[in-house]
Chains A and B, each alone.
Chain A
Amino acid sequence: MTVFKTFWRVWNQNKLTVILFTMILLVFSASNMGTQETSTSFTAKRPDILVIDRDGSALAQDFTRYVEKFADQPVVEDSENARADALFYNDADLILTIPQNFGARFLAGEDAHIEVRKSTNYNAAYAEMLISRYWETAGIFRQSDRTETELIAAISETLTWESSVSLTTELDTTSLQKGAYFFNFASYSILACVIYIIAFVLSSFREQKIQKRTVVSSMNLRRHNRILLLSNLLYSLILWLFYMLLSLLFVGRAMFSAHGAFFAVNAFVFTLCATTIAFFIGTLVQNKNAIGGVVNVVALGSSFLCGAFVPAEFLPEPVLKIAHLLPTYYYIHSNEALTAVEHFDRAALTSFFLNCGIQLAFAVLFLALTNFVSYKKRKIA
């Protein structure tokens, strides 16, 4: 009990570190909440198109009506300068001028063109695509010797066919995106909190002079180390639980879904792995002043390399190759994959548990390294 109590007394002296790294997580997660879009339906965008009809034919009028259906008509003065300004300031995405006799020439199969002036934005390209759709349809029906009225009727009938777009997924993508962001960023906070505290406490207990006192005491050294190990594990468990509670703030009800459970399991496995990394660092680094630096290098470095702050798809290939050598990569990879999993089928589960398995393999590796370093140190002492 005395070892357990002392563990928490030493922890108490370093609790500010835990608060600091948790605050960083909270601030970044809160700021991310404001930037997440919440769209759940699809609505087509309406471009601004100005049509100047100098022809007045039935075909030109029908085209104008067609444009009005999918575009807004900006109010622009009837002058060349005003039209140029409207395009420059994006008040109009497209300005179409139908020349005189356009309808007659088109029906006669002559080379008839509408003058098109466009702005440089995306809406202009979209509008141009819709306009081509009208004239391509008109071109097809013109070849079958229809009258103007028949041609207009045929075009109208064809263009009234609409594709309705509906989102078929039942995923709460917004919450899952928030979840992935929170848990990805949490990799940094978990690593920093676990490594800093455990390495600090271990370096206190394993300071050679303290260790010497422990060895000469009547407490069995194995029992002493076992209690210390359990205290460390308990701390990691409490930290994980605390972060799960925090995740409720940012992810909400989605944490009670299957996705939430998988996020939690993934975070648990990662915390376990972080604990073994902390054991290794705590055994390797005895200088308490150096622990802060090591934590920054390990936690910040691996979080950057593995895409906790910047999404992995934006990271260069060589960086991602290095990231494969770190457990954080597999943790983040699982989080990202969870946002796209609709049903937890065999493929999704295999991928998830494979990533968990790799993290656990890293944990075993770090435990083996810790034992090796401890053995070497004992031999030297």
Chain B
Amino acid sequence: MKNVIEVEHLTKAYKDLKAVDDLSFEVREGEILGLLGPNGSGKSTTINCILSLLNFSAGSIRIFGEEMKPDAYDLKARIGVVFQEVAVFDELTVYENIDYFCGLYIADKKLRRQYVEEAIELVKLGEFKKFRPKKLSGGLLRRLNIACGIAHKPNLIFLDEPTVAVDPQSRNHILDGIKKLRDAGATIVYTTHYMEEVEILCDRVMILDKGKILASGTTDELKGLAGMEEKITVESEEPEEAGLAAIRAQENVIAANYRNGVFLITYRKGENNLAELIEILKREGIRYHKIFSERPTLNDVFLELTGKELRD
């Protein structure tokens, strides 16, 4: 599979602060790469450098095998960008906005009309075509923002936190739309700090913090870095010391902590742990209201790698 983006030793410094620190990675054709990291981790700076919106201090960036420069208009014609901020004209209708931004790439009127209609269909804004942005809800605005960025049918799409502050219905529309773009053959770089979205959408994930890549791989590969395979949460009354000791003595337990009515137990391996735990709880007479088991999340991976939560 060809590489669509190749970034080598990218560094962007603001005086003494390195916003991006010696970053090297590639994005393969047709994949969705998730850039995951807390605010200020360097996700947007990396994208801005790739798009030539920012000068960088060192390194090189190649897109579709060619060096990316501010005047590389042929390359830019194949790229679509959806910024985090909704960037539309308040004075234009939904249709006119998409038409304008599409028009920056596509001169042919007939083709543009077709593309605009398809973009409207993709983000499901058909009934709002004649609405001005001020009359749209936050979710609809986000969908318009996406349509403006992808209407010209780019091969490479950058989506910078497109679902921030969006209602669940719009979020589903947006995620469905992104999947359709991938299915149509587009390569997508998706930045977010919502782990669930990354798990649903991304073929590969890169976790960034303080301008550096902490880890990258598929979600399963990353979860392997968490050092655990299962996490069981028990809502219960506070156990006696003996009961607690019995739980901690269970095979494969890494840690068992009780705080504010919730027992959190992590395991090295993920088989039969739940059944054994329920038996111990019965035997020790510990009464519980709820009990559930889950696989480690990317947040657990992030916690493991940095010692802090992803949304800190």
Residues of A within 8 A of B (CB): 1-3, 5-6, 9-10, 13-14, 204, 207, 209-210, 212-220, 224
Contacts and interface: CB of A to CB of B under 8 A. Distances in A.
A116 to B, nearest CB: 76
B124 interface: no
A202 to B, nearest CB: 13
Nearest to A2: B103
B312 interface: no
Contacts of B99: 2
Contacts of A210: 87-89
Contact of B83 (A207, A209, A217, A224): A209
Given A9-B96, A212-B53, A213-B148, A218 B83 contact: no
Interface residues of B, number: 30
Interface stretch (B72-80, B187-195, B266-274, B286-294): B72-80
A185 B92 CA distance: 33
Contacts, number: 68
A218 B73 contact: yes
Contacts of A207: 87
Nearest to B92: A9
A204 B83 contact: no
Contacts of A204: 89-91
B49 to A, nearest CB: 12
Interface of B: 51-53, 70-71, 73-74, 76-77, 79, 81, 83, 85-92, 96, 99-101, 103-105, 107, 148-149
Nearest to B99: A2
Classify the interface of chain A: helix, strand, loop or mixed.
helix
Given A217-B76, A218-B77, A2 B85 contact: no
Contacts of B71: 220
B105 A219 contact: yes
Nearest to B101: A213
Contacts of B77: 218
A10 B51 contact: no
A251 B78 CA distance: 58
Contacts of A224: 104
Report the 6 A-B pairs with minimum CB-CB distance, sorted nearest first.
A2-B103, A209-B87, A218-B77, A217-B104, A13-B91, A218-B76
Contact of B105 (A1, A5, A215, A217): A217
Contacts of A220: 71, 73
Contact of B53 (A1, A6, A215, A219): A215
A251 B96 CA distance: 42
Nearest to B80: A216
B66 to A, nearest CB: 14
B100 A6 contact: yes
Nearest to A215: B53
Nearest to B72: A218
Contacts of B81: 213, 216
B3 to A, nearest CB: 21
A217 B106 CA distance: 10
Contacts of B51: 216
B144 to A, nearest CB: 13
A213 B96 contact: no
Nearest to A223: B73
A218 B75 CA distance: 8
A122 B52 CA distance: 81
B83 A213 contact: yes
A216 B107 contact: no
B56 to A, nearest CB: 16
18 contacts: A1-B103, A1-B107, A2-B104, A6-B89, A6-B100, A9-B91, A10-B91, A204-B89, A204-B90, A209-B87, A213-B81, A213-B101, A213-B104, A213-B148, A214-B104, A217-B101, A218-B73, A220-B73
A358 B42 CA distance: 52
A209 B85 contact: yes
B92 A10 contact: yes
B110 to A, nearest CB: 13
A218 B53 CA distance: 13
Contacts of A5: 100, 103
Q: Which of B87, B105, B148 has the most CB of A within 10 A?
A: B87
Contacts of A9: 91-92, 96
A142 to B, nearest CB: 89
A6 B92 contact: yes
